[in-house]
Amino acid sequence: MTLESLPNEILIEIFEYLNAFEIFYSFDQLNNRLYSLIRNIPLHLNFEYCRKTIFDQFCTILKLNPIIKERINSLILSNKDTCGQIDL
Distance CA 25, CA 38 (A): 11
Question: Is there a domain that residue 35 lies in?
Answer: yes
Half-sphere exposure of 65 (CA within 13 A, CB side): 17
**Coil, helix or strand for 18?**
coil
**pTM summary value:** 0.72
Question: Is there a domain that residue 71 lies in?
Answer: yes
Q: Which 8-state DSSP code applies to residue 75?
A: E
Q: Residue type at 28?
A: D
Strand partners, 43: 72
How many structural domains is the chain composed of? 1
Domain that holds residue 66: 3-76
Residue 85 has pLDDT above 90, yes or no: no
pLDDT in tens, 6-40: 999 999 999 999 888 889 888 888 899 999 999 99
Residue 2 has pLDDT above 90, yes or no: no
